[in-house]
Amino acid sequence: MKVDSVSGFSLESADPSSLDNTEWKLNTLNKAQGGRINIKGLISSDTGSHLNFSAKLGMWQNGTFIVLKEANQDVEVINPLVFISEQVNNSANHVAFPGEKLHYEVFFRNIGTTSFDNLFVTSKIDGFAFDLSTLTSNQGQVRANDNLIIWDFKQVPELQHLLPNREISVTFDVKLKDNWVPSDSEKNNILLKNTVNVFDITQEFNIKVNSNLGLSQKAYYASQGGFQNSGTVPPKVNKSTTYIIVWQVKNYFNDVKNIKVRAVLPQGVTLTAVLPDNQISNFSLDSASREIVWLAGNLAASKGLINSPLSVYFQVSLTPSFLLQGKLANLIGQATVSGEDQATGTVVSSTVSGVNTDLPDDQANSGGGIVH
């Protein structure tokens, strides 16, 4: 797609990023698919002037851009009367996490020369990630069915009279869903939209959502992943019993690169083998810290949600000391997965608990983990 340069308008940012501030390379669009390009910039034209924006959708063939569809929009530059801004969790550039509670504060500053009386303000949120059952506002009227919050001068005294150069704010809170399966159009493009309207002036704000990495850590004595175990269950003091640890990683909303999984082996536990073979080179053990690190690589958005997660199997050998007699023995400590979110630029992570010889996921051997 190409957007013609406009005299009096300077592009400052675009989402997704452009190739050269005028052209965007789009992925293949199947039937009924679409997308959105958001462009922000600075207007330097005088009040009363007109800017003509032109966008062309097409394709390159033999060095020539073939236009398939063209759209034009004429915009008149007016003198603004109210400046609207937003902060989410006290930040103007917040990037949200799934499950997070968001505190929105919307600011209105009178930048005109006359006062405004009896203001009426609306805020409409849009995004599948919002848990609308949690939408609340101390002073506003919440209409969850419409994703709408309304403030008027009867409930908010500050809206009755806004003097020049004065600023007021209104607030609301909403929680994000913990997890969901993103649609194809949402992958790498989840935006939380808030459209604010006051005095016939509308301002749209968008914030991004980080991906969520899911990690599973399970232990088995029963055969898994091609491993056979040895030793007794329950384990015995000064006798070795082998177990299989299974790590599985899934990814939700955005592509994530350089994924790593880390955990520490307790004293008395040693690493003996790793499967599949193509993961051996990605697996390491620091003998001093006893930390295991798996370089799991990259995961595309939604990998492991409706198809198989990324998995690795490794075998450990437990030789419990007499101090563990009559107790459950830890096989591995808590594990943490982390990676670089390619849509937000944030390092995302999650942690799961360690596992012991109780083996809750091994039906054949669960509950037989007390050291004898």
Q: What is the pLDDT of residues 147-172, one digit of tens each?
A: 999 999 998 999 999 999 999 999 99
Query: Is the Cβ–Cβ distance between 224 and 264 less than 8 Å?
Result: no
Q: Is the pLDDT of residue 234 over 80?
A: yes
Q: Which domains does the chain have, with CATH numbers?
A: 2-76 (no CATH), 82-208 (2.60.40.10), 213-356 (2.60.40.740)
Query: Is the Cβ–Cβ distance between 244 and 315 less than 8 Å?
Result: yes
Q: Which residues contact 135 (CB under 8 A, 6 or more apart)?
A: 125, 142, 144, 147, 149, 172, 173, 174
> What is the pLDDT at residue 93?
94
> What's the Cα-to-Cα distance from 9 to each of 13, 43, 125, rounded to whole Å?
12, 5, 28
Mean pLDDT to the nearest integer, 312-316: 96
Q: What is the mean pLDDT of the chain?
A: 92
DSSP letter for each residue of 202-247: EEEEEEEB---EEEEEEEESS-BTTB---S-SS--TT--EEEEEEE
> What is the pLDDT at residue 233?
93
The token pair that represents 23 in the structure block: 């052209």
Percentage of the chain modeled with pLDDT above 70: 99
Rg (CA), the chain: 28
Listed as own residue / partner, the contacts of 365-368 with beta carbons closer than 8 Å and 24 or more positions apart are: 365/220, 365/221, 365/222, 365/233, 368/233, 368/234
Q: Is the pLDDT of residue 80 over 80?
A: no
Band (300; pLDDT cuts 50, 70, 90):
very high
Mean pLDDT to the nearest integer, 118-142: 94
Q: Is the pLDDT of residue 47 over 80?
A: no
